[in-house]
Amino acid sequence: MTERPDKGKTYFYNMQIFKKNISWENFWKFGDGCLHLQADRNSYMKKQILTGVDSFEKIIKGDFFYVDKTLFIKEILENRGEVTLITRPRRFGKTMNMSMLRCFFDVNTDSKVLFDGLKIMEQKDIVENYLNQNPVVFLTLKNVEEETYKDAIERMKELVSDIFQENLYLCENDCLNEFKKKQFYRHCAKESTEVELKSALKFLTSCLYAYHKKRAIVLLDEYDSPINNALKDGYYQKMIQFMRGFLGSVFKTNDYLEFGVLTGVQRISKESLVSDFNNPKVCGIMNKAFATCFGFTEEEVKEACEMFEVGHTFDEVKRWYDGYRFGGKDMYNPWSIIRYLEENEIADYWVNTGSLRILQDIFYKGDNQLKNDLAGLMTGAPVMMSLEDGITYPVKYVHSNIFWTMLLNAGYLKPCNGAKKEQFSAELVNLEIRNIFSRYAKEWFGEQQPSICETIQKFADYLLRGDAESVSAILNDELLNNPSCYDFKEENSYHMFIYGILLALSDNYAVLSNPESGKGRSDCLIKPVDKEKYAVVIEFKHKSEDGKDLKKEAQKGLRQIEEKAYIQHLKKEGYERIYKYGLAFHKKNCEVAMEIVKPA
């Protein structure tokens, strides 16, 4: 049969069962001239998952599970600059997308069959004008993790050598003179000097142009990885100087460059790195360009859950792995989703995918204000921040826009809903990220202040028993007068204190800081899993001038709980037994007022 089926006639097909109705759009004409049932690349049948592989070609040829992101090619062509820098958190598909770009553009391959059935093939003009039309240089720096500068340079030589060996055909005719061939072979043999290594990519683009008479597309994946590792291992200045030359040579005034794309986690400041090449078009997580190209959309996650027959768990999947906000679009963590589909178990998957040194450093190097802010984040209180244009290393572990920008880019924070102003509030992304933070916080808290952990456990027990006298005693006699204890110097300095409570109660209680409740926000809510037990509402008061009338301040806290109707949400959720606390602080002194709400 060579023509489109007539709707008035009946035809029989040898079909497998699919989970959607078959329409005329489901038929397509193959090379043999016959009509076949259209089974798109991500068919509705369950496919095998191949984790740990970033090769687009391997995934497609093996018919493994793949979420179609090929329209990224269209977006690159429509939104690119001469050099485009895209920043996204680790494990969000950066390398896979760069591998896909290589397959599509590379003049040395015939990849039409590879992309057959994928979304980009519907863009006829793009396919006709760009498919396999340019030489491509593709390099990923994600594994440059050596402990010394010398070893890092040797690793760079290995990576460059691999690229040159892939293009040895350039030396097989007279397009290169003998001098250039010798230089080419030195790169292949990892014998280049450091100066030659800096200009290796530009030299390769000139060789490609000499052969193909076409400018090259340069794809540099995880450009900031060597720099971040150098910072960790103590040779940052040497590496940043090398990378300035390495990037600058290929991306600045290079007549053999068609365009360049870089990916990474952080945008390193212009002064530190990119001043040596033309200002790139930067597309970070707040920019609309490429918003849905990295990570999974909600629709893509729902389809994947249905494919793997776990659609009934979607709400829990959303709670754990949703929450990333790129260019105003809500996105899911692709690594965690894929691992969940593979294991069929909700767990912290992203934590095991790379170095979390940044989180360790927060708790061991951060000042008191930063720890307090982080404790607030972990108990539901957002931080106010402004987005910095670039990260200047080394980053100081203090409350600053640079520090919060670093966490935002790394995928730990997200802008709160509706955050569009220059200054906005940010919060932890989702439950998986909250668990990661809690893991390191507990480790730090337990190592640094074991005695306080034990004391806070007793304090929490007294709170939950409604024993105001013991609460007051342990605060005044132990916690506030312990030299290791966090000092209440400002009105909002209780977040670390609240987080101590959270550590003590994490198994059976939810501890929230500044949640919306009634006509405002209470300072702290403690909600038991068992609603027959007592919930707790706490209002903190702080006197900076003197310690007089602390009892009145504590009573003022109780009145605020009543006037602002903070307990109304608890009652709506089914909590009938509630302790209300007003805690008033001045330096190392505290007064406690408490009232009990019982079932009517």
Burial profile 311-325: b = 16 or more Cβ within 10 angstroms, e = fewer: eebbeebbebbbbbb
**Measured at the alpha carbon of residue 373, what is the angle toward residues 367 and 377, in degrees to the nearest 5?**
140
The average pLDDT across 34-46 equals 48
* Token pair 């497998």: residue: 16
Q: Residue 237: is its pLDDT beyond 50?
A: yes
Residue 20 has pLDDT above 60, yes or no: no
268 or 264, which is more confident: 264
Q: Which CATH architecture has domain 70-283?
A: 3-Layer(aba) Sandwich (3.40)
Cα(540)–Cα(519) distance, integer angstroms: 17
Hey, how many other C-beta atoms are within 10 angstroms of the C-beta on 237?
A: 12
Angle at 559 between CA 554 and CA 562, to 5 degrees: 135
Q: Which is more confident, 18 or 212?
A: 212
Domain range list for the chain:
1-39, 70-283, 298-352, 357-434, 449-597
Q: Mean pLDDT lowest for which of 36-45, 202-211, 488-497, 514-523?
A: 36-45
Q: Is the pTM of this model over 0.85?
A: no
HEC assignment per residue over 483-547: CCCCCCCCCCCCHHHHHHHHHHHCCCEEEEECCEECCEECCEEEEECCCCCCEEEEEEEECCCCC
First-last CA distance in the chain = 78
- Alpha-helical regions (H) of 62-148: 71-79, 94-105, 112-115, 124-130
- pLDDT more than 90, % of the chain: 56
Whether 400 contacts 421, CB under 8 Å: no
Better-scored residue on pLDDT, 194 or 443: 194
CA distances from 128 to 81, 104, 131, 212 (A): 21, 11, 6, 18
